[in-house]
Structure formats: structure tokens, C-alpha cells
Chain A
Amino acid sequence: MDCNRIPNAESWDEASAQQLYEYRNHVKFCLACRRRVFSESPIPLLHELKGEPMPDEFWIGFWESLENKLPPADKRYHLPLLPVVRWAAALIVALLLALYQNKLPESPSYEISRGGSPIRPFDLSPDPSLYPLIEEVKEPGSTYAIFEADRDQKIVMIFNPDIEL
């Protein structure tokens, strides 16, 4: 490659990969361009630090030491641990909530006593002797009167609003 084709170091960021490859190769061997590029900016030359082979002596004992630490293949985890733990925790919380909610209505922790007989707090069915059922009252303006014959008898009378009492 012609030395004139090596642009200013500051503009190497805009070069294509192919151009970058050619520039780097050139400045590796052309001392003049190397000095010029470095004087403009040392950053493009940092690429050369990617590394050269280390001498074999440097790696003596490396594999043996590593091999001793390798777990058996079947002991390797197949899923990232954290997401599994997170999902398991969420599932357990959801299960506990569901169990707790289903249990609440069935196990009142106390009872209310009314008229001598205990009443369960969540038992909402009306007592027909205390509250007589009135089948249909369609007129919202109706009036009513309650006659108490004796202690155990009540007569409830409902009147249309147009009836004068």
C-alpha cells in the first residue's frame, strides 16, 4: 500500500473494516508511517496489543492445575442459576398466597355470641324467624306498618302509596 493512502490517525474511526485492516498492516511494517500515525494519535496502534503468543514455558502446569478444578460434565449447570431461583421463589409465594386465601373463610378464629347461641362470623344466611321474607315489593314509595301481636308474632303490612291510612 502506498504511504500517501494512510490517512490521519484521527480519521481511522471512519474507515471501513477492510481499509482498517490495510492501514494496520501497513503501519506495522512501515516505520515512517508508524511514526507519523503515532504522532497524530497513539490510539490506532493500541490494536497491536491484542497479543502475541506467550512462550511455552509460561504455560507449564496451567492445564494440569485447570484440569484438577474442572467439575464432571454432569455436574455443570444447564440453566443460569439466578433466573431459576427467582422463578422458584415467585412460584412458592404464589402457592402460599393461594393456600392462605382458601383457608381464610373456613377457619374463623373466634365466635360471636348472640342470644345465648354462638354465631359464626362468616355465616351470612338470614334467620327466617327474625326477618320474615317479603316476596315482592315493586313500588318504591310503599309504606309499611308492623303490628306486634305477642312476643313471638309480628304482622307486617305494606301499603301502596296511593292508599290513605
Chain B
Amino acid sequence: MPRQNLLFLRIKDEAILPDEQKLIRSCLEGDRQAFEKIVEKYRDALYWTAYNLVLDSEDARDVTQQAFLKIWRSLPEYDANRSFPGWAHKITANCAIDLLRSRRESEPLVDNVPAEHSTLDQRIDVRRIFSRIAPLLPQRQRIVLVLREIHGMEIAEISELLQCTESTVRNLLSQAKDSFRKRTKELFPDYGL
């Protein structure tokens, strides 16, 4: 039940607006100005999806551009009954995963990462914590954690993107959560985890 509700909220939250439908229709007719408006609206959100996966600002910008290019090309296949942002995020995640695959997977850092004692941030800057810990996670665990816990993607969608079974995704997610907790405890002991 909670998962269904979550899905409902996501769809409601990201439901396509009439203006946006008009923009998409114009894009289908080749109107580049309409596409520029779509780019302006979604570039930040897609950039963060890319950044959380590739963990590099320049690469994330390139991935975002790749994703928009793919969106433009694939617009004739877009099903207007589905959420446009959801579709666009999926394309972006796919582009980011392609980039990660093309990179030689480096071993995640294990040792020599000092704990942070001196700069206890009262607000708890999640971005800073994530930036420290995410590179330490194995790539597939990180992808699953980001797509599920940050971007709220369904397990089935993630399994499709990673070309693996849903149970594999669940296992990776569970391992990723455990690793993330463990690493946070090690590297940010002052937060009392």
C-alpha cells in the first residue's frame, strides 16, 4: 500500500500540465523554441540525476546534454499518458549509466579516508556527506541507491535500466543502504550515528 501511494503521489506531483502538452506537440512539429522552454524547465532536475550517478560536474553536464538530445530524437515515441518528467529522468539515468559503463570501473576507495571531526555542521549537509561516501560504494550499489532513494524510481524501472532482475536490485539496495550507514558512522562520528 505505501509503495502504491508513493507511486500515486509521484504521478500526481509530476503530472503533465496542459501547457507542457502544447510545448511537446510543438516540439513534435519541429519547434525548437518550444524545446528550449522544456530544456530550461528540466535542465536542473536532470542535471542532478546525472550528477548523483556520475559524481562529476562536467560529466553530468555532458550527460544532461546527451539526455536532451535523446529526448528530442525520441519525442515521437513518447506516450502522452505517461509522466513526462519520469520519462525524461529515465532517459537521463540511462545516459549516465552508459557513461559509467564506458568508464573502467575503478575500485571504490576503502582505506585512507579520514573521518571528519573538525567541521560538524549543525544543519547536516546531506550533499557534503553524500559526496564523501558515494565514491566509496561499488558502482551498481550506488546507482540503485541514487535511483531509488533520491529519485524515487520503481524497482522494476531500475531493473530494466540495469538489465538485471528485480530481486538483484533489492539485494543491491539493501547492501547499498548498509554500506552507506556504515560509512557515515565511520566518517562522520560526531553526528551520533
Q: Is A47 an interface residue (CB 8 A)?
A: yes
Report the minimal beta-carbon distance from A57 to chain B, rounded to whole angstroms.
13
Residue contact B191 to A35, C-beta cutoff 8 Å: yes
Which of A41, A43, A59 lies in contact with B43, CB distance below 8 A? Answer: A59
Chain A interface size range: 35 or more
Report the minimal beta-carbon distance from B155 to chain A, rounded to whole angstroms.
13
Question: Which residue of chain B lies nearest to A69 when distances are taken between CB atoms in the complex?
Answer: B69
Residue contact B48 to A50, C-beta cutoff 8 Å: yes
Residue contact B2 to A15, C-beta cutoff 8 Å: yes
Number of interface residues of B (CB under 8 A): 53
The chain A residues found within 8 Å of chain B, CB to CB, are: 13-18, 20-21, 31, 34-35, 38-39, 41-43, 45-54, 58-59, 62-63, 65-67, 69-74, 76-80
**With A42-B184, A51-B47 given, is the CB distance from A21 to B126 under 8 Å?**
no
Residue contact B145 to A46, C-beta cutoff 8 Å: yes
The chain B residues found within 8 Å of chain A, CB to CB, are: 1-2, 5-6, 8-10, 28-30, 32, 35-36, 39-40, 43-45, 47-49, 51-52, 61, 64-65, 68-69, 72-77, 122-124, 126-127, 129-130, 145, 149-152, 177, 180-181, 184, 191-193
Residues of the A chain whose Cβ atoms lie less than 8 Å from the Cβ of B129: 42
Give the docked Cα–Cα distance between A39 and B35 (Å): 44
Give the docked Cα–Cα distance between A136 and B193 (Å): 101
Residues of the A chain whose Cβ atoms lie less than 8 Å from the Cβ of B73: 71, 76-77
Give the docked Cα–Cα distance between A34 and B52 (Å): 22
Which of B51, B52, B76, B124 lies in contact with A45, CB distance below 8 A? Answer: B124
